Amino acid sequence: MNQPLTEMEGMVLAQIAREGALTAYEVKEAFRLSPSQFWSGSAGAVYPLMKRMQDRGYVKSKDVSQNKRPRREFSLTAAGKKAMQGWLSDSKRAIDPGYDPLRSRLLFIQLLPENRQRQFLEQVQQQMATIPAPQKAGEIAEKLHGLWLDSRRKWLDRFIRFLGRQ
Amino acid sequence: MNQPLTEMEGMVLAQIAREGALTAYEVKEAFRLSPSQFWSGSAGAVYPLMKRMQDRGYVKSKDVSQNKRPRREFSLTAAGKKAMQGWLSDSKRAIDPGYDPLRSRLLFIQLLPENRQRQFLEQVQQQMATIPAPQKAGEIAEKLHGLWLDSRRKWLDRFIRFLGRQ
DNA sequence: CAGAGCATGTAAGAAGTTACATGATTGT
DNA sequence: ACAATCATGTAACTTCTTACATGCTCTG
């Protein structure tokens, strides 16, 4: 078998599958507009990734330029669809905590003096409401994001209450 | 000012601060035993990281070998403590979704045929309960993990119910 | 006395990052 | 006409990864 897809590769293939066909530029923009700073949405990540996926036979490209401006659209092959679905249904990966910057920090919150602890936790509570949902990803994505935000807020509240009782 | 710490660097400094002094090996083991597959806990990450932190003046090391087996313990300098607390109280980073493998997949769940959707969601629900808490991190860490797991379970349940109503 | 675990580290490579370079098109 | 956006891509660099290499110490 082929080596498993990275998280970024999986998301790119999934995005292309959902939209039917996308240019590398559009893929890059989707990452750039995502709420996570961890996806920089850099050309230097996306263009070589597309080449990699094409070399593995997961995407095919078509030049659809209509004038002098280039436009190369990528779409999934059958193998690409299969690989994408394999990534998507990998439950072992799915249950992994991944990189959770808030969780990492709460784990060590006691290393901060108490006044800075309170300040940090209040700032997080305030700023959390403003995290934008992914763009153009439809109703499901917005619902998922809303529920996610809500559950994180409750998690943080409960943890703060626990700290108070300590 | 100096460039900000990576997530891994921040966690290493925080760990050393909590324990007082640690060898690179102990730091590496802590990552290896963590519930996330994303932290491989490789020597090739930790040893160069320690060198980096020492070059920036964030840690100092002391040879505490008592026989022929080497043992070099690292502890934080004042600058290291300051940098660690800066990382820890960075609320902008803290509210970032980071890499969330479950969230990424749920965002695209519709790309799976319905029977595979159900299968995937059930597997995640079952396996989620078995995610181990971080080792040796104390009562707070265990409470944090417990609350985190619970909030994720509820998030997933609510989303599944939403999907059912679609 | 063998194997697991402690302890150090390096080498090669993967997959990101920022920054740069080029040019076409659209909107004000 | 000028700026913003569309669109492609490369170069240098950072920080991880896996795999290897070496040797000491404790336990069954």
Q: If DSSP codes are grouped into helix, strand and coil, which group holds residue A60?
A: strand
Average pLDDT over residues B12-19: 98
Which residues, at least 6 apart from A100, have a Cβ–Cβ distance to it below 8 Å? B98, B100
Asked if B41 and B33 count as a contact pair (C-beta separation under 8 A), the reply is yes
Q: CA gyration radius for chain B? A: 20
In this predicted structure, what is the pLDDT of residue A1? 60
Query: How distant is the Cα of B128 from the closest Cα of chain A, in angstroms?
Result: 6
A157: chain B residues, CB-CB within 8 Å: none
In this predicted structure, what is the pLDDT of residue B121? 98
Write out residues in chain A with pLDDT < 50, as ranges.
none
What's the CA gap between B83 and B9, in Å, rounded? Answer: 10
Q: Cβ of B29 < 7 Å from strand C?
A: yes
Question: Largest alpha-carbon pair distance within chain B?
Answer: 67
Average pLDDT over residues B97-119: 97
Nucleotides of D under 7 A from a protein CB: 6-12, 15-21, 23-25
Q: What are the two backbone dihedrals, phi and then psi, of residue B132, each rounded to the nearest 5 degrees? A: -75, 150
Task: Specify the DSSP element, H or E, that contains B76.
Answer: strand B72-76
Is the confidence at residue B34, as pLDDT, over 80?
Answer: yes
In this predicted structure, what is the pLDDT of residue A2? 78
Closest CA to A7 of B37, B43, B7, B46: B37
Percent pLDDT > 90 in chain B is: 86
Asked if B152 and B128 count as a contact pair (C-beta separation under 8 A), the reply is yes
In the DSSP assignment, the letter for residue A109 is G
Q: Is A155 close to B158, i.e. CB distance below 8 A? A: no
Average pLDDT over residues B32-55: 95
pLDDT tens for B69-99 read: 899 999 999 999 999 999 999 999 999 999 9
Q: Find the angle CA(B26)-CA(B32)-CA(B36) to the nearest 5 degrees.
A: 135
Considering the entire predicted model, what is its pTM?
A: 0.94
Tokens of B109: 């769940």
Asked if A45 and A29 count as a contact pair (C-beta separation under 8 A), the reply is no
Which residues, at least 6 apart from B161, have a Cβ–Cβ distance to it below 8 Å? none
Among partner residues B89, B97, B134, which is closest to A36 by beta-carbon distance? B97
User: Which has more confidence, B134 or B105?
Assistant: B105
Residues 96-125 of A with CB under 8 A from B: 96-112, 116, 119-120, 123-124
CA distances to A100, A161, B59 from B66, rounded to whole Å, are 39, 45, 22
Strand A22-23: give its sheet, edge to edge: A22-23, A72-76, A59-63
Among partner residues B111, B131, B143, which is closest to A84 by beta-carbon distance? B111
Asked if A122 and A40 count as a contact pair (C-beta separation under 8 A), the reply is no
User: Which has more confidence, A139 or B134?
Assistant: A139
Q: CA gyration radius for chain A? A: 20
In this predicted structure, what is the pLDDT of residue B1? 59
Asked if B104 and A11 count as a contact pair (C-beta separation under 8 A), the reply is yes
